[in-house]
Amino acid sequence: MRQPGSIVHLKKNIRKVVYRLKWLYGFPVDIYREIQGTYDPETGRRIIERLKYHVDRMIILPASYHRDVFQSISFIKANSNFIYGGDIELDDRQFIIDAKDLPVDFVLGEEDYLVWENKQYKIMKLDYLEGGTGYYVNGRRPTNQNVSQIHEESIRTRLRSISEFSTE
């Protein structure tokens, strides 16, 4: 019999909660990983290979919008005439990824990024759920960022082929 504090009991409860949340707040999201190839000295290029992992239902929690302000050291200096700095709008979201939706040998890293609704989210903080059941990700998207995606080409049709043969 499983005890309430055991690891097996904890993993089972986490999987149940994540499963329910996937059906309430689940959206299709792609996880991208960039692998840099070797440097070619003749062309001066480095080939970057992008791998895409599609997740049908990833839990996406509501966004928190905030503005980030950055300033140079001249702002602190008294009686300064020149102040350099700026502000950008940031879109932060939290994602919960079920480990069952990813390949068995896949380990999510902070160098990976997520694409949801044609918006790219950089992984700012990555936490692992207990027992290897999934990931809790804090993602950030600057509003003026370009997104590069891999689009899979497939054609779905409802045509039926009918064959008739007649023999005399």
Do the beta carbons of residue 25 and residue 94 sit within 8 Å? no
Which position has the token pair 């993993």? 11
Amino acid at 56: D
pLDDT tens-digit readout, 70-110: 555 555 555 555 555 555 566 788 999 999 999 999 999 99
Token code pair at residue 165: 């043969």
User: How far apart are alpha carbons 142 and 123 in whole angstroms?
Assistant: 12
Domain ranges of the chain: 7-142
**pLDDT, one tens digit for every residue, the chain (168 residues):** 556 667 788 889 989 999 999 998 899 999 999 888 888 888 888 888 889 999 999 999 877 655 555 555 555 555 555 555 555 566 788 999 999 999 999 999 999 999 999 899 999 999 999 888 999 999 988 777 778 788 777 777 777 767 676 676
Secondary element (H or E) of residue 11: helix 7-25
Q: What is the CATH number of domain 7-142?
A: 2.40.10.210
